[in-house]
Amino acid sequence: MQTRILAVLLCGCAFAGAALAETIVVNDQVQVRESQVDRPKRGSTMEQVEKHFGAPVNRHPTVGQPPITRWDYNGFSVFFEHERVIHAVTTSG
């Protein structure tokens, strides 16, 4: 189930453009809506994210190859490949 959610979230990257938007899943359907939640930018390092946003509420263990890590903050989660942000998604409605 976690793999499916991660795949859906990462596929949502294709829908995100220069505009501020968030990818959400409602009843197993991917939707994109505008968002004003401040999130890390793609390509930022773990060090930059922690410096700007502070320590995450939860750090999930790294999984897979290439290694993917998730950090949870209040209101959003950040996905890293190695040490770089690949996607940040809002988690609150």
Write down the domain spans for the chain: 2-90
The model's pLDDT over 11-29, given as tens digits with 9 standing for 90+, comes to 554 444 434 555 667 777 7
pTM score: 0.66
User: Which of helix, strand or coil describes residue 78?
Assistant: strand
| Dihedral angle computed from the Cα positions of residues 24, 27, 28 and 32, in that order, rounded to the nearest 10 degrees | -30
Higher per-residue pLDDT: 22 or 46: 46
Question: Looking at residue 16, what is its pLDDT?
Answer: 45
Q: How confident is the model at residue 54 (pLDDT cuts 50, 70, 90)?
A: very high
Question: Looking at residue 44, what is its pLDDT?
Answer: 97
